[in-house]
Structure 1
Amino acid sequence: MTPNDRKIEKLRQRIPSFTCVVGCHDCCGPVTASAEEVARLPIKAESEHAAALDRLDCVYLGQHGCEVYGQRPLICRLFGTTPRLACPNGKRPVYMIDPGTEREIHHFLANTRQVLL
């Protein structure tokens, strides 16, 4: 496990969770994720990436929602946990993410190689 992999795991543990609206994917779209996070995800064909981008969707958004929910990237986990990335349906955790943790996540993302999903 690389230092970045360890950092990702530690940050994931500090992001609060909440229950989404069943079937909703309003916050899904093309995002970037660190190369380490992408390496954990199934490989998708270039044609799948292009089709998802044409729809302004994430390539991992399937018919029944996120196909990689358990391994979704940090940026996806932030949605709904901070006022900066509020859930359009008003869902949120009981306690929003600690501002220091949010800064650490943004710093990590800004300082790692990002890949478009």
Structure 2
Amino acid sequence: MTDDRYIIARLREEIPTFECIPGCHDCCGPVTTSSEEMSRLPVKSDAEHEAALNEFNCVHLGPKGCEVYGERPLICRLFGTTPKMACPNGCRPEQMVEAEVENQVHQFIARTRQVLV
């Protein structure tokens, strides 16, 4: 496992999960992610990317929500788990993400090449 894969796996385990409101996608706008995380997602066409961007949505947002939820990038996993990226509908895990883990995610994002999802 590459260093980045290991870091991604470790951070994923440390970010708490919670239930979103069914049908909500308020946090599912276009985001950037590392090339490593992007390589785990289905390839979308330029037309699909353009259509999603025109709606300010993520290209992996489908009619029933996130189509790559299990592989969603770290930045998506942080939404709703930290006061800095609070859910606009008040959803949250029982325990918010530890500040150190949040900082490690942001450090990972800052040091890796980011691509638009």
Q: If the TM-score is normalised by the length of the shorter chain, which range does it land in?
A: over 0.9
1:106 and 1:28 mapped to 2: Cα distance?
A: 18
- What one-letter code is carried by the residue in structure 2 that aligns with 1:44? K
Mind listing any 5+ residue stretches in structure 1 that lack a counterpart? none
- What one-letter code is carried by the residue in structure 2 that aligns with 1:75? I
Deviation for aligned residue 1:102? 0.3
Post-superposition, which runs of at least 4 consecutive aligned residues in structure 1 deviate over 3 A? none
Deviation for aligned residue 1:2? 1.2
Tell me the SS of whatever aligns to 1:110.
helix
- What one-letter code is carried by the residue in structure 2 that aligns with 1:37? E
Residue 80, structure 1, aligned to residue 80, structure 2: yes
Alignment-derived partner of residue 69 in structure 1: 69
Mind listing any 5+ residue stretches in structure 2 that lack a counterpart? none
Cα RMSD (Å) of the superposition?
0.5
Alignment-derived partner of residue 57 in structure 1: 57
Alignment-derived partner of residue 114 in structure 1: 114
CA deviation profile, 1:26-56 (whole Å, cap 9, x unmatched): 1100000000000000000011001101110
Number of equivalenced pairs:
117
Identity of aligned residues (%): 60
- What one-letter code is carried by the residue in structure 2 that aligns with 1:34? S
**1:1-117 map, 5 Å:** 1-117=1-117
1:60 and 1:53 mapped to 2: Cα distance?
A: 11
Tell me the SS of whatever aligns to 1:28.
coil
TM (norm. structure 2) is 0.99
- What one-letter code is carried by the residue in structure 2 that aligns with 1:94? E
CA deviation profile, 1:55-102 (whole Å, cap 9, x unmatched): 100000001100000000000000000001100110000111000000
- What one-letter code is carried by the residue in structure 1 that aligns with 2:82? T
